[in-house]
């Protein structure tokens, strides 16, 4: 059999190889955990990129579904005795279903109104999690969430969690790439540019919007479940509006309509946030959430100068240059 070594395929092989090799090279548990976190945020950003970058639908409350997945996993496994693996699957499926149902009224709106509604969704979610103390543990959080265990194998060390999260992340990336490079992906991009034109060719825009929103919610639900099982503790503040804004920043840095860019965006923001918190804030003698100021500024600059994000914007410039060279 002849194997096709396109540059893209080689890049994918190198990337997957680097992910597999990382725990052998990096011995520091804290750094391994940071990479795990990047994996989780990549899953979240990929979903957001499908909704915002491909389908062109504003979604400023993506952390809602991250939280939903985390709380569903926590409730099912810590309170109801559901096996941890089943709770994780349920987190993905239920988040997607809830995303679909919530999408029905939300996607009657467009543009700024849609953005406001998704933002509101996030606010409502956090309020419920804070106030339903009996079920969620309230503001002080939900403790003693069991780790994932499959057939007696318990994912309890940093390296095991790293492997688990990145296996899930790669699966989500592959799934999203399949969607993007298909009839569905073309329909989503068509809706983004002109809903009227897409519908004139038989694309049921509303149905595609609902389904892509549900898919993004499903990815986020799995990420939330994995997060809960990794940390064993969740609280509402991990899923509030600021997290949603961080996710939008990740997607924007990666290029809103770029699946691979999601990894880059997630890595940049996670590492930058860490750097700002640990080094910059300390160095300047400041306390508080300095990173939010930096991200807000970063987001504004990207939106003004490279509205399609760093990767997509750069790629587009290159493609335009190549097309012009051909003429």
Partner 1 sequence: MSDVILEAKGIQKSFGGVMAVAGVSLTIRRKEIFALIGPNGAGKTTMFNLISGAYPLDQGEVFFDGKPVHGKPSYHIAAMGLIRTFQNLQIFNTMTVLENVMVGSHLRGTSGFLSAGFRLPGVAAEEKRLRDHAMEMLHLVGMESRANDLAPSLPFGQQRLVEIARALAASPKLLMLDEPAAGLTRPETRILDDLISRIRENGVTVLLVEHDMNLVMGIADRMAVLQYGSKIAEGTPAEMQANTDVIGAYLGVDWEMDMPFARTV
How many residues belong to the site for partner 1 (CB under 8 A)? 34
Helix, strand or coil, per DSSP, at residue 44:
helix
> Counting contacts by CB under 8 A, is residue 100 touching partner 1?
no
Residue with tokens 């990815």: 219
Residues 227-286 that bind partner 1 (CB under 8 A): 257
The per-type count for the chain, helices as H runs and strands as E runs, is 15, 2
Pick from 215, 243, 269, 299: which binds partner 1 (CB under 8 A)?
215
> Counting contacts by CB under 8 A, is residue 204 touching partner 1?
yes
Residue 110 Cβ, how far from partner 1 at the closest point, in Å?
16
Count other Cβ atoms within 10 Å, centred on residue 298. 17
> Counting contacts by CB under 8 A, is residue 319 touching partner 1?
yes
Residue with smaller CB distance to partner 1, 160 or 175: 175
Q: DSSP assignment of 251-272, as one string? A: HHHH-TT-HHHHHHHHHHHHHH
Q: Among candidates 243, 191, 232, which has minimal Cα distance to 53?
A: 191
Q: How far is CA 314 from CA 19, 59, 193, 255, 302, in A?
A: 25, 24, 20, 9, 12
> Counting contacts by CB under 8 A, is residue 211 touching partner 1?
yes
Per DSSP, which regions of the chain are E strands? 149-150, 153-154
Residues 157-196 that bind partner 1 (CB under 8 A): 175-176, 178-179, 182-187, 189-190, 192-194, 196
Residue with smaller CB distance to partner 1, 55 or 273: 55
Question: Which segment (3-11, 154-162, 211-219, 274-282) binds partner 1 by CB under 8 A?
Answer: 211-219
Count other Cβ atoms within 10 Å, centred on residue 1. 2
Q: How far is CA 146 from CA 19, 87, 225, 230, in A?
A: 26, 10, 11, 9
Residue 210 Cβ, how far from partner 1 at the closest point, in Å?
10
Pick from 129, 198, 266, 306: which binds partner 1 (CB under 8 A)?
198
Residue with smaller CB distance to partner 1, 35 or 215: 215
Chain positions contacting partner 1, by CB under 8 A = 175-176, 178-179, 182-187, 189-190, 192-194, 196-205, 211-212, 215, 257, 319-320, 323-324, 326
């Amino acid at each position: 059999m002849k194997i096709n070594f396109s540059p893209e395929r080689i890049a994918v092989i190198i990337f997957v190889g680097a992910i597999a090799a990382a725990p052998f090279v990096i011995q520091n548990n804290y750094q391994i955990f940071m990479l795990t976190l990047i994996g989780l945020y990549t899953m979240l950003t990929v979903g957001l990129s499908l909704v915002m970058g491909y389908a062109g639908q504003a979604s400023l409350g993506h952390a809602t579904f991250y939280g939903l997945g985390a709380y569903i996993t926590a409730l099912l496994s810590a309170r109801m005795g559901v096996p941890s693996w089943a709770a994780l699957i349920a987190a993905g499926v239920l988040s997607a279903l809830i995303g679909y149902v919530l999408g029905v009224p939300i996607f009657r709106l467009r543009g700024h109104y849609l953005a406001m509604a998704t933002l509101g969704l996030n606010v409502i979610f956090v309020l419920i999690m804070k106030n339903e103390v009996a079920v969620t543990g309230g503001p002080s959080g939900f403790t003693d969430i069991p780790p994932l265990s499959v057939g007696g194998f318990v994912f309890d060390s940093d390296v095991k969690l790293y492997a688990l999260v990145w296996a899930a992340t790669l699966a989500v990336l592959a799934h999203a790439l399949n969607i993007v490079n298909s009839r569905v992906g073309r329909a989503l991009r068509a809706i983004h540019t002109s809903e009227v034109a897409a519908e004139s060719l038989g694309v049921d825009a509303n149905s595609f919007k609902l389904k892509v929103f549900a898919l993004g919610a499903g990815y986020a639900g799995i990420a939330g479940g994995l997060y809960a099982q990794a940390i064993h503790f969740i609280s509402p503040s991990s899923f509030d509006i600021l997290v949603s804004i961080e996710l939008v920043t990740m997607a924007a840095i990666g290029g809103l309509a770029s699946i691979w860019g999601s990894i880059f965006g997630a890595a940049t923001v996670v590492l930058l946030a860490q750097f700002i918190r640990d080094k910059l804030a300390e160095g300047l003698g400041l306390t508080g959430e300095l990173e939010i100021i930096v991200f807000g500024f970063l987001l504004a600059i990207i939106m003004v100068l490279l509205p399609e994000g760093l990767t997509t914007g750069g790629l587009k410039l290159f493609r335009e240059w190549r097309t012009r060279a051909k003429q």
